[in-house]
Amino acid sequence: MSQSTSRNDHLPRLELPRFSGAVTEWIAFKTRFERRIVSLVEDAERYAFLNKCMERFEPARNMCEALENSGVSFAEAWQKVEERFYKKRIAFEGHILKTLKIKKGQKLFSIGILSLIDTIDTMITTTRQIADEDNASLACIANGLLVCIAKERLDEVTLAKMEEKLDLQTIYTWKQFKSELEKHANQLVCRSLGETSKSTVPPKAMLIAAASAKSSGNNKTTLYTNCTICQNSEHKAYACPEFEPLTPKQRLEVVKQRSVCFNCLQRGHGVANCKSAARCKQYQKKHHTMIHLDREPDPDKQLKEPQPSTSRE
């Protein structure tokens, strides 16, 4: 007597891993994908599987199809895809930033607390995997946290400059990142001080403004539309990207070298003739807050302003 059995209790087919293009998703996608293709022998089958997984991210799908059409082996194609779309440092920092940006809840119940623990554990596991660091150490995460915290406090211009200098496949320690920040700060100082060695002949716009003021009979004050630090017409001296990063003492030196008013940071007059009602926010003295020397009980004694040079106007 033969007995035939039909299996209707098969497990459901596993869902394909999908890649959306987010760098932080690559490690999880790669792990799941490589497990799925272990049983596939032919390159054609592996290419078909990969193309299906890339349906949601057109640039990757187009690249895979082009590589397959050019006759590249699947192993080589898979390596090229990873080089194109996986940036180690961005993925590493992305997981840490995601954790730092978790919003604080009003009141967490048990499920919320456990979810928070799982999120942090996932971040630790993933960042260690990306950094190829021993599980017994949290050094890579500690360094990553410090770097990410510093980046979150940088303005957009400075952050963009820093990103231009950093390698996308290198995970930086705080010491390395701090070194790059210090180099950038020193460059800003040198650039600002370098401006003082340029010709003292004022730009055309300043000459026109001076001529206009002279013809109107007002020789004491002159209207300047440009920044008196870098001559840019899009901002004033107090918002100058070359002036703002300096220390108060360095700013004071620049102000002296540029012969601008200590109170309003404009040319054409001195503090005695300054009509601005603004005062230092620290001691309400007649000098700009940006050049206030914190360690001096009476900053005005330190701010010996040179007479404005009429020949430069």
Q: What is the pLDDT of residues 277-313, one digit of tens each?
A: 777 877 777 777 777 776 544 445 555 555 554 444 3
Q: Is residue 17 part of a domain?
A: no
Q: Is residue 69 part of a domain?
A: yes
Q: Is residue 250 part of a domain?
A: yes
pLDDT at 180 over 70: yes
Burial 149-163 (b: 16+ CB within 10 A, else e): eebeeeeeebeeebe
Contact (Cβ atoms closer than 8 angstroms) between residue 302 and residue 211 = no
Mean per-residue pLDDT for 98-103?
Answer: 87
Judged by DSSP in three states, 193 sits in helix
Please indicate, yes or no, whether residues 77 and 97 belong to a single structural domain of this protein. no
Q: Is residue 18 part of a domain?
A: no
pLDDT tens digits for range 9-23: 444 565 789 999 999
pLDDT (0 to 100) of residue 220: 41
**Predicted TM-score of the model (pTM):** 0.53
pLDDT at 84 over 90: yes
Please indicate, yes or no, whether residues 244 and 280 belong to a single structural domain of this protein. yes
pLDDT (0 to 100) of residue 221: 40
Domain total in the chain: 3
Separation between Cα atoms, residue 133 and residue 141, nearest integer Å: 10
Q: Is residue 9 part of a domain?
A: no
Q: Is residue 308 part of a domain?
A: yes
pLDDT tens digits for range 61-78: 999 999 999 999 999 999
Please indicate, yes or no, whether residues 178 and 270 belong to a single structural domain of this protein. no
CA–CA distances in Å: residue 160 to residues 92, 97, 151, 163, 280: 18, 17, 10, 5, 32
DSSP strands (E only) in 123-166? none
> What domain range includes position 251?
198-313
Mean per-residue pLDDT for 249-257?
Answer: 82
Dihedral sign computed on CA atoms, order 73, 75, 76, 81:
positive
Mean per-residue pLDDT for 111-135?
Answer: 86
pLDDT tens digits for range 126-161: 999 898 876 667 889 999 999 999 999 999 889 998
